[in-house]
Copies of this chain bind each other. A is one copy, B any other.
Amino acid sequence: MPPVRRAQIVRATIRCLAQDGYARLTMKKVAREAGVSQGILHYYFRDKRDILAAALETVAADLNRRVAVAQARGSREPRARLAAVVRACLDVAVQQREVWVVFIEFWGEMPHDKRLRAINAAVYARARAALGAVVQEGIRARIFRQVRPADAAAVILALVDGVSLQLTFEPDAMPAARAARLVDAVVARYLAPGGGST
């Protein structure tokens, strides 16, 4: 029962964050949203920071899961797989807007909370490793040019994050599908064989 209650509280927290924002999150609202009393929150969590850390873990895991699923569904061909991942990331930002928005909210808190930073670092390390593996595969198959997979992973991640940000704050500027094609084009040209050695 403990894990169930914890999850219930964490999910309520995420909903509150999506609705009102980090700065206006209160234990009262979380308890109300979860349908429990205020006291119970401190039975399952030491304090507010604990709940927030758990919320970031959940959000991050959720994002990772969705992207992993999309990647698994893609073909074996490295280019197609990268495209599938890119598309999945951007779709999350648009369709699962709430989850993505909460994740962005945590960015602002990370400089002030070591624990949140650690969770985020783990998420990005995993993401870079997964992307790097796909790139590596493409290099071996001579589909991609010789690049350091870690560099390529960082670049792809940065592109996706940056474009997702723009889609989040100015959704009307560009449909998600077009953004995905744009990012794909950049990645394809970055990894395509030929051209300079840079």
Contacts and interface: CB of A to CB of B under 8 A. Distances in A.
Secondary structure at the A interface, as helix, strand, loop or mixed, is: helix
Given A21-B111, A104-B108, A109-B23, A174 B162 contact: no
A169 interface: yes
A22 B23 CA distance: 7
Contacts of A7: none
A97 to B, nearest CB: 8
A22 B189 contact: no
A169 B22 contact: no
A121 interface: yes
Nearest to A191: B189
Interface residues of A, number: 50
Contacts of A151: 182
Interface of A: 20-24, 101, 104-112, 117, 120-121, 124, 151, 154-155, 157-163, 165-166, 168-170, 173-174, 181-186, 188-190, 192, 194-196, 198
19 contacts: A21-B108, A21-B109, A22-B22, A22-B109, A24-B112, A105-B111, A107-B107, A108-B108, A111-B169, A121-B170, A154-B166, A155-B182, A155-B186, A157-B162, A159-B159, A185-B190, A185-B198, A189-B189, A192-B195
